[in-house]
Amino acid sequence: MNINQIVSHAHILLKKANIKNPRLEANLIISETLKINLDDMPAKTENLNNQHTKNIFSKIDRRIKGEPYAYIIGNKPFYNLNIIVDKNVLIPRPETEHIIETALANIQNIEDKINIIDIGVGSGAILCTLLDKLPNAYGIGTDISEKALMIAKKNIKKYRLNDRSNLINTSWGNSIKNHFFDLLTCNPPYVSEKSLTNLQKEVKYEPSIALNGGEKGLDSLRDLLPSARKCLKLQGKAFFEIGYNQCNSAQELISNSHFRIQNVIKDLAGIERVIFATAI
């Protein structure tokens, strides 16, 4: 088969499996596998060897079974970076870009030498993006999952941030230098146990340790707040991502942990998504 025939065939298979953008995904999976530019695809009429063809259809098969596209390809665009991902980390979501926007908007000068901590760093999407945007900042990422830290390490290396960052295998902000950080970000697991069972097929491929926020989805936030507060300097800025319908309870938990709420930011769907608070 030549490339065009493979695209058509893959498109039909993905369409039958009710994948939303079957032609685009077929093109993307093929261009990524063959390492050719998406724009050059239509002109490609050469025949593919068996190995390449097999490789492409095994990826299409994984996609049909419901595995997220980002895991199959191994990366996901986030803000201005393309973050390496695998099944041990949550796939960065567009909603999380509100943490980046809000944090950047609340930094006095992007040249400032500030210390950042990202609690539950996962793939490193938040940490790498902030360090990339703040050339003199230093950042620490923590995670309880060693496998997640291996991915974060790859992203740090990819974006040449080794000199300005460290990864620490710990829970939340525990065993971290006290009152050292100017800025804290955290996208904790916040999906309630009940909603976890109703999630889309694709989300079930993601690590439940990064999603499961207990009965009402707020257990992780409640657990992490004391250590998060300790990491921060007085007046340090914290940005927490929260889930649907959690705004009031989350604000209460945060206020009760020596923080003052500054602002609540909605996502593009109008859902309260990020709470900005300062350490008091």
Residues near ligand GLN (CB under 6 A): 90, 93, 95, 187-191, 203, 211, 241
DSSP, residue by residue, 138-204: EEEEEES-HHHHHHHHHHHHHTT-GGGEEEEESSTTTTS-TT-EEEEEE----B-HHHHHTS-TGGG
Reduced to 3 states, what is the DSSP secondary structure of residue 232? strand
Which residue number has the CB closest to ligand GLN? 190
Task: Give least dist CB 216 to ligand GLN, A.
Answer: 13
Q: Which is nearer to ligand GLN, 150 or 203 (CB)?
A: 203
Q: Which is nearer to ligand GLN, 190 or 259 (CB)?
A: 190
Q: Which is nearer to ligand GLN, 108 or 200 (CB)?
A: 200
> For tokens 């923080």, what's the residue?
259
Task: Give least dist CB 241 to ligand GLN, A.
Answer: 6
Report the C-alpha gap between 10 and 223 in whole angstroms. Answer: 46
Task: Give least dist CB 67 to ligand GLN, A.
Answer: 15
Report the C-alpha gap between 3 and 194 in whole angstroms. Answer: 44
Task: Give least dist CB 9 to ligand GLN, A.
Answer: 31
Contact 68/206 with Cβ under 8 angstroms?
A: yes
269 burial type by CB count under 10 A (0-12 exposed, 13-18 middle, 19+ buried): exposed
Contact 89/261 with Cβ under 8 angstroms?
A: no
Q: Which is nearer to ligand GLN, 56 or 90 (CB)?
A: 90
Q: Which is nearer to ligand GLN, 245 or 256 (CB)?
A: 245
**Among the listed residues 78, 86, 171, the one whose alpha carbon sits nearest the alpha carbon of residue 133:** 78
Task: Give least dist CB 96 to ligand GLN, A.
Answer: 7
Report the C-alpha gap between 87 and 78 in whole angstroms. Answer: 17
Q: Which is nearer to ligand GLN, 31 or 220 (CB)?
A: 220
Element (H, E) at 264: strand 259-266
Q: Which is nearer to ligand GLN, 124 or 188 (CB)?
A: 188
Q: Which is nearer to ligand GLN, 174 or 212 (CB)?
A: 212
Contact 187/122 with Cβ under 8 angstroms?
A: yes
Task: Give least dist CB 280 to ligand GLN, A.
Answer: 25
Report the C-alpha gap between 193 and 196 in whole angstroms. Answer: 5
Contact 222/253 with Cβ under 8 angstroms?
A: yes
Task: Give least dist CB 224 to ligand GLN, A.
Answer: 12
Task: Give least dist CB 257 to ligand GLN, A.
Answer: 19
